[in-house]
Structure 1
Amino acid sequence: MAEALLRHYGEGQFQVFSAGTEPDQVDPRVLEALQELGISSNGLHAKPLDRFADQSFDFVITLCSKARQECGNWPGSGVVLAWDFDDPRSSSDPQAIPKTLQAIIQRIRLFIEVNSKATGTLYPSLSPLEFYKALADEVRLKTLLLLRDQELCVCELVEALQQPQPKISRNLAQLRKTGLLLDRRQGQWVFYRLHPLMSDWMKAVIRTTAENNQEFFAAASARLEAMAHRPAAGEACLTGCG
């Protein structure tokens, strides 16, 4: 359902894929409910998660607690969103599937509204001058280089850059305000990554800078790799980096 709905309401803004932890045949009642709303179900079929195991995604959205546990830490994933719904197929309510469909529609419309704003207004308004000004600081530049292919907690950046937490947090806030970073709060801790909707040319600048100037942030990378008890998504940050 979610794949068909995001394709329909997203109007081509997103590439959409779906998979299940225990894929089964698509329930005919789902196809009927989609058809009643005028939403195409062409090409819909159940797929296993391992079909996409080697792919990276800007967003990973789980629709039940079991899926959240099994793919909440999807390698290479961007923003992970947990939308927990009860399985309508196991409900005795004859309207369970239509009700679930409407609930997912509401979530998807909000998702599109938020991320369409980021796509449509944030990055076109960020000029090359503003982008390069954001990079014109050693802490901010090294932060972006370290984050180019991973998500890091504030305490990891403190360790890697050997700077006090207030200074790191101040620069992270500036990068977030500019639109280059996206933060994710997990309990009392905050993780950062490059914004998945960042313009391609900006990503290319960061990637090329990293590839051709590895000595510039080699020490920071080494400290990060040597850091003991590094926090991970879904785990507590032992050094308290909120």
Structure 2
Amino acid sequence: MAEGFARQILPADWQIASAGLETHGLNPLAVQVMAEKGLDISTYQSKLIDPEFLQGCDYVVTLCGDARDRCPVVSGAVVKQHWPLIDPAQATGSKSAQLTVFRQVRDEIEANMKEFAITYG
């Protein structure tokens, strides 16, 4: 979801990359709630963090506590931000309840990305 908003909100000349500590595939509920915002992320793929790639980044944003704690160390020149979001993939209950969590996290990511763009874009 963050990659989708980054590609929409940040300047077109920015190279946007998204990765996680593990690959789990693209969550269909993420695709569904992003489509509600007019963003198609259905072709996105779950990728593993590449520590070498991170060293060349200008900005690194982590989205959950686990990612912040386990993200490879990057040089001091890299601007690091952490957005302490819950992992919507861990939501339980009915599909409706899970969608509510995904929408909440989606909206938090969108708001954070807009603020990020104002600050750094």
Question: Structure 1 length as normaliser, TM-score?
Answer: 0.44
For 1:82 and 1:60, the matched residues in 2 are separated by 8
Deviation beyond 3 Å, 4+ runs, structure 1? none
Amino acid in structure 2 at the alignment position of 1:111: F
| Correspondence 1:53 to 2:47 | no
**Which residue matches 1:81?**
81
Q: What RMSD in Å do the two structures reach over aligned CA positions?
A: 1.8
**1:8–1:40: 8 Å Cα contact kept in structure 2?**
no
**Which residue matches 2:105?**
100
Unaligned runs of 5+ in 1: 117-242
**1:62–1:68: 8 Å Cα contact kept in structure 2?**
yes
Q: CA deviation at 1:84?
A: 1.3
Unaligned runs of 5+ in 2: none
Question: What SS does the corresponding residue of 1:29 show, helix, strand or coil?
Answer: helix
- State the structure with more CA Rg: 1
Q: CA deviation at 1:34?
A: 1.0
Q: CA deviation at 1:13?
A: 4.2
For 1:31 and 1:11, the matched residues in 2 are separated by 23
Question: Structure 2 length as normaliser, TM-score?
Answer: 0.84
Q: CA deviation at 1:74?
A: 2.3
**1:63–1:85: 8 Å Cα contact kept in structure 2?**
yes
Question: What SS does the corresponding residue of 1:54 show, helix, strand or coil?
Answer: helix
Amino acid in structure 2 at the alignment position of 1:21: L
Please say which of residues 36-45 and 77-86 is displaced more in the overlay: 36-45
**Which residue matches 2:24?**
24
For 2:11 and 2:102, the matched residues in 1 are separated by 23
For 1:99 and 1:15, the matched residues in 2 are separated by 26
The residue correspondences of 1:196-211 to structure 2 (distance < 5 A) are none
**1:72–1:80: 8 Å Cα contact kept in structure 2?**
no
- Say which structure is richer in helix: 1
**2:63–2:85: 8 Å Cα contact kept in structure 1?**
yes
Amino acid in structure 2 at the alignment position of 1:71: C
**1:57–1:76: 8 Å Cα contact kept in structure 2?**
no
Q: Decide which of 105, 112, 115 is 1:110's aligned counterpart.
A: 115
Question: What SS does the corresponding residue of 2:78 show, helix, strand or coil?
Answer: strand
**Which residue matches 1:119?**
none
Q: CA deviation at 1:73?
A: 2.1
Q: CA deviation at 1:77?
A: 5.7
Cα gap change, 1:77 to 1:64, in 2 (>3 Å): farther
